[in-house]
Structure 1
Amino acid sequence: MKVADCIINCLEAEGVEYVFGIVGKETLDLADSLSQSNQIQFVNVRHEQGAAFMADVYGRLSKKAGVCLSTLGPGATNLLTGIASAQLDHSPVVALIGQAGVERNHQESHQYVDIVKLFEPVAKWSTQIMDSLTVPTTFRKAFRLAQMEKPSSVAVVVPENFLTQKIAGKPLPIYPLPETVPVVETIQAACILIQNRKKPFIILGNGVVRQDTAPELQTFINTLQVPVTHSFMAKGILEKEHPSNYFTFGFNENDEVLPGIEEADLLITIGFDFVEKLPKHWNEKKIPVLHIDTLPAEVNEYYPVEIECVGNIKKILQSFNQSKLPAKSWVPFGNLRERIMKEYQINHSQPETINRPFTIEEILHSIEKISSDNTIVVADVGAHKVSIARTYQPKQPNRLIVSNGLASMGIAIPGSIGAKLACPQDPVICITGDGGALMNFAEIETAKRLGLSFIIIVLNDSMLKLEVQQMLKRFGESYGVTFENPDFVQLAASFGIKGLRAGNMDEFETIIKEELKTLDEMVLIEVFM
């Protein structure tokens, strides 16, 4: 078989269902081989950045590596943002990238850039096929690394001249990823540490979602009866009404959880990634840390680790739950939980008036009230993402998707495609600002072509609101952060999807309630903020 066929066989062996990308001259043979696969659907997108975002969100929700494809030069550089985003958010992604023949590697040449070096800073592993016989080994390693904790993006570059070569290679066997747990003595030492402290405070991060630890974690929390806060990406572990739920932390301003953290005498961090918020911003007092994660702690003066429990988080928590830990039953001073709920507008407090004005918080309360437990919300980046992190309470883990490490605008629409393909039975709601929407609006054609059904809410204020707010605070005026928008309803119609405009909250609730009831087509809802 030719190398291109062998690559597709390797993808099939890894359980790949979709490849998102754009075909170019250097990847024509890959496209031909893909066309003969009975297992893999090629999703031809409108921009490579969208392909990477689709692979990212698909990977997060499916718990296996998403795959994206591009050609050399501008195709590869277009992937960079999405690949970097996947790396920082620890999403498993394998990027398959075409390249010029190796004979062009050492001279100035049309569309040639060193793709391996280009991707090294933004991927867990970046490599180029240099010998066609290494294809099975390279792809097994790529998927293994992409999915191994902490998951991330991997780039595999394939020079054009290799794709047609004949080889007899076949996919390597796939074995389960190794799972480790701390030795008994470490667990015992950690239990003694918890027992000897009066005010432990639990901080949850993205890792608890990646490792599906909700049942074990809930038992652990219910046993200790201590305050719990979570990063943007760990929402949904505790229900809104749980007395230990102190909601979200990690904000640049008005982080209402910090007084509770500062009152603690031990911080129990579980699956927390520094990329979500550096410890110097939430542990200025250098409170001792019990580190529970899949990898050892980073050295940091604001992260003074007393004990590290490193390994499979689910199994570590199971060990704690068998250790009969005592309840601590403490609450932070000053009705902190109630204050957080008020400041974050977690509970709906506005009177039910006619023609209620739009606010992002009102929109989020409506979605929370109307949507089912399994609804997936994909948030773009901007001022609304901060509001979503504060106010919106998903009913299950991994039902709120945000780009938080790289915080990349433009992820929401292509990310919703990845979400719907990973979870076809679950409702998907995309919330995006006008800035982020128009970055990858063309992917609506991709979604329409695939026959996908989800809701897109476009918050139209003709500005980059977060930057406007920051500039007004610093300079008293803003500059370079406003623009004019098209008519989003007409724009949606031009793509062949339903476009609606809500003039107030009552209209919005009526529309979204009706659309969620059927959800048999794509619909865009424009709201002026």
Structure 2
Amino acid sequence: MKVSDLMVTCLENEGVEFIFGIVGTETLDLADSLSKSTKIQFVNVRHEQGAAFMADVYGRLSNKVGVCLSTLGPGATNLLTGMASAQLDHSPVLALIGQADVGRNHKESHQYIDLSKLFEPVTKLCTQIKESQTLPTNIRKSFRLAMMEKPGAVAVILPENFLSEMITNMPLPVMPLPKSIPDMDSVKSTIRLLTNCTKPFIILGNGVIRQHAVPEVQTFIDTLQAPVTHSFMAKGILEKEHPCNFFTFGFNEKDEVIKGIEQADLIISIGFDFVEKLPKDWNKRKIPVLHIDALPAETNEFYPARYELVGNIKETLQLLNESELPIKSWEPSGNLKERLLDVHKIKKNEQKSASRPFTIENMLHCIEDYTPENSIVVSDVGAHKVSIARTYQPKNPNRVIISNGLASMGIAIPGSIGAKLACPNDPVICITGDGGALMNFAEIETAKRLGLSFIIIVLNDSMLKLEVQQMDQLFGESYGVTFENPDFIQLAEGFGIEGKQARNLDEFQSALQESLPTLENIVLIEVFLQS
């Protein structure tokens, strides 16, 4: 078989269902081999950045490696932002990147750049195939690394002269990743630490979701009864009404929950990634930390890890839950829970919708009220992302997709395609600003071609609102952050999807309710919020 045929066989062996990308001259053999696969669907996208974003969100939701494809040169550089985003958000993604034949590697050549050097800083591994016989080993290693804690992006560079060679190798067997657990002495020391402290405060990160430890962490919290806060990407681990839920932290402004963390004598950090918020921003008092994670702590003066339980989070918490955990129920002073409900606008205004102002927060309450528990909200980056992180309360974990590592605008529309392919039976709601929407709006054609259905909410204010707010605060005026928009309804119709407008809460509620029950197509709701 050709090397490209073996590549497809290796990908099938890894359980790949979709490859997102754009074919180029250097990957024609791979495209030909993919056309014969009965297990893998190639999704031809409109821009390689969109392909990487699709693979990112698909990987987060499917518990598989998301795969994207590009050719050399500009195709590869277009992947870069999405790959960096996946790496910082710890999403398992593999990029297959075409390259010029190896004979062109050592001289100036058309469209040739050193892709290994380009992708090394934004991946866990970037490897170029230098000998076709090594392909099965490289593919197995790449998938293994992409899924291994902490997951991330991996790139495999494919020189075109290898893909058409003949080969007799076969894929390597897929073996489960090994799991480690802390020794019992460490567990006993942790129990003593918990017994001796008086005011522990729990911080939950996305590692809890990645390692499928949600039931175990809920049992741990129910026993300990200490206050809990979530990172942006960990939202939904505790239900909204849980008495220990102090919602979300990690904001640049009005991060009210830090007032509760500062009253603690021990911080219990479970599966938290520093990329979401550095400890210097939430542990200025240098409170001792109990670190529970798959990897050892990255210690610094603001993260003084007194004890570490390093290993699989799910099994580590099982060990703790089987021990004699103490009850450490306490309430931060200052009526913090009520203040959070108020400042973060989590508490719904019970007035009729006609009496409530048309704000992002009230719009989010509508989404909470009228969408089923399995709904997935994909947030783009902008001022609305902060509101979603503060206000929106998902009913389950991993139902809010927020890019919070690289925090890249433009992820929401292609990300919604990845979400719908990963979870075809779950409603998907994409919330994007007008700035982020038009960065990858062309991927609506991709979604339409695939026959997907989801709701796109475009917040139309003709500005980069977060930057406007920041510049107004710093300088009293803003510059270079406003623009004009097309007619989004006509634009939607041009893509063959339905467009609706909402200028008040009643109109938004009606548009949402009309779109949800028989969601068989893509619906765009253009929203004009009150400032």
Is the TM value for this pair above 0.5? yes
Q: Choose 350-359 or 292-301, whichever is displaced more.
A: 350-359
- Whether the aligned pair in 1 keeps the contact of 2:236 and 2:397 (CA below 8 Å) is yes
Instruction: Give the match for residue 354 of structure 2.
Output: 354
Q: Which one-letter code corresponds to 1:488 in the other structure?
A: F
Instruction: Give the match for residue 123 of structure 1.
Output: 123
Write the distance in 2 (CA, Å) between the matches of 1:358 and 1:369: 16
- Whether the aligned pair in 2 keeps the contact of 1:434 and 1:458 (CA below 8 Å) is yes
Write the distance in 2 (CA, Å) between the matches of 1:41 and 1:295: 35
Write the distance in 2 (CA, Å) between the matches of 1:38 and 1:237: 37
Write the distance in 2 (CA, Å) between the matches of 1:91 and 1:320: 28
Q: Which one-letter code corresponds to 2:309 in the other structure?
A: C
Write the distance in 2 (CA, Å) between the matches of 1:244 and 1:362: 24
Instruction: Give the match for residue 89 of structure 2.
Output: 89
Instruction: Give the match for residue 235 of structure 2.
Output: 235
Describe the superposition over 1:355-393 as per-residue Cα deviations: whole angstroms up to 9, x where unpaired.
744210011000000010000000000000000000000
What fraction of aligned residue pairs are identical, expressed as a percent?
72
Instruction: Give the match for residue 518 of structure 1.
Output: 518
Displacement of 1:334: 1.4
Instruction: Give the match for residue 387 of structure 2.
Output: 387
Write the distance in 2 (CA, Å) between the matches of 1:257 and 1:200: 14
Instruction: Give the match for residue 212 of structure 1.
Output: 212
Q: Which one-letter code corresponds to 2:17 in the other structure?
A: E
Q: Which one-letter code corresponds to 1:35 in the other structure?
A: S
Kindly indicate whether residue 220 of structure 2 is the aligned counterpart of residue 226 of structure 1: no
- Whether the aligned pair in 1 keeps the contact of 2:349 and 2:356 (CA below 8 Å) is no
Write the distance in 2 (CA, Å) between the matches of 1:438 and 1:267: 42
Write the distance in 1 (CA, Å) between the matches of 2:414 and 2:169: 34
Write the distance in 2 (CA, Å) between the matches of 1:186 and 1:125: 32
| Structure 1 segments (4+ residues) deviating >6 Å | none
What is the 5 A alignment of 1:7-86? 7-86=7-86
Q: Choose 78-87 or 501-510, whichever is displaced more.
A: 501-510
- Whether the aligned pair in 2 keeps the contact of 1:202 and 1:267 (CA below 8 Å) is yes
What is the 5 A alignment of 1:308-319? 308-319=308-319
Tell me the TM-score normalised to structure 2 length.
0.99
Displacement of 1:351: 2.1
Instruction: Give the match for residue 141 of structure 2.
Output: 141
- Whether the aligned pair in 2 keeps the contact of 1:355 and 1:504 (CA below 8 Å) is no
Write the distance in 2 (CA, Å) between the matches of 1:354 and 1:158: 58
Write the distance in 2 (CA, Å) between the matches of 1:139 and 1:442: 31
Q: Which one-letter code corresponds to 2:23 in the other structure?
A: V
- Whether the aligned pair in 2 keeps the contact of 1:296 and 1:310 (CA below 8 Å) is yes
Displacement of 1:350: 5.6
Describe the superposition over 1:58-93 as per-residue Cα deviations: whole angstroms up to 9, x where unpaired.
000000100000000000000000000000000000
Q: Which one-letter code corresponds to 2:143 in the other structure?
A: F
Write the distance in 1 (CA, Å) between the matches of 2:258 and 2:353: 35
Write the distance in 1 (CA, Å) between the matches of 2:355 and 2:196: 55
Describe the superposition over 1:132-184 as per-residue Cα deviations: whole angstroms up to 9, x where unpaired.
00000000000000001100000000000000001101100111000000001
Residue 373 of structure 1 aligns to a residue in which SS? coil
Describe the superposition over 1:276-306 as per-residue Cα deviations: whole angstroms up to 9, x where unpaired.
0000000000000000001000021100011
Residue 441 of structure 1 aligns to a residue in which SS? coil
Return 5+ residue gaps in structure 2 as ranges. none
What is the 5 A alignment of 1:97-496? 97-349=97-349, 351-354=351-354, 356-496=356-496
Describe the superposition over 1:303-324 as per-residue Cα deviations: whole angstroms up to 9, x where unpaired.
0011110010000100110112
Residue 339 of structure 2 aligns to a residue in which SS? helix
Q: Which one-letter code corresponds to 1:160 in the other structure?
A: E
Displacement of 1:503: 2.0
Residue 401 of structure 1 aligns to a residue in which SS? strand
- Whether the aligned pair in 1 keeps the contact of 2:224 and 2:329 (CA below 8 Å) is yes
Q: Which one-letter code corresponds to 1:468 in the other structure?
A: V
Write the distance in 1 (CA, Å) between the matches of 2:203 and 2:35: 47
Residue 396 of structure 2 aligns to a residue in which SS? coil
- Whether the aligned pair in 2 keeps the contact of 1:356 and 1:506 (CA below 8 Å) is no
Write the distance in 2 (CA, Å) between the matches of 1:2 and 1:504: 59
- Whether the aligned pair in 1 keeps the contact of 2:353 and 2:505 (CA below 8 Å) is no
Displacement of 1:212: 1.4
Write the distance in 2 (CA, Å) between the matches of 1:415 and 1:247: 25
Describe the superposition over 1:386-410 as per-residue Cα deviations: whole angstroms up to 9, x where unpaired.
0000000000000000110000000
- Whether the aligned pair in 1 keeps the contact of 2:191 and 2:324 (CA below 8 Å) is no
Write the distance in 2 (CA, Å) between the matches of 1:7 and 1:107: 28
Write the distance in 1 (CA, Å) between the matches of 2:181 and 2:174: 22
Q: Which one-letter code corresponds to 2:515 in the other structure?
A: E
Residue 209 of structure 2 aligns to a residue in which SS? helix
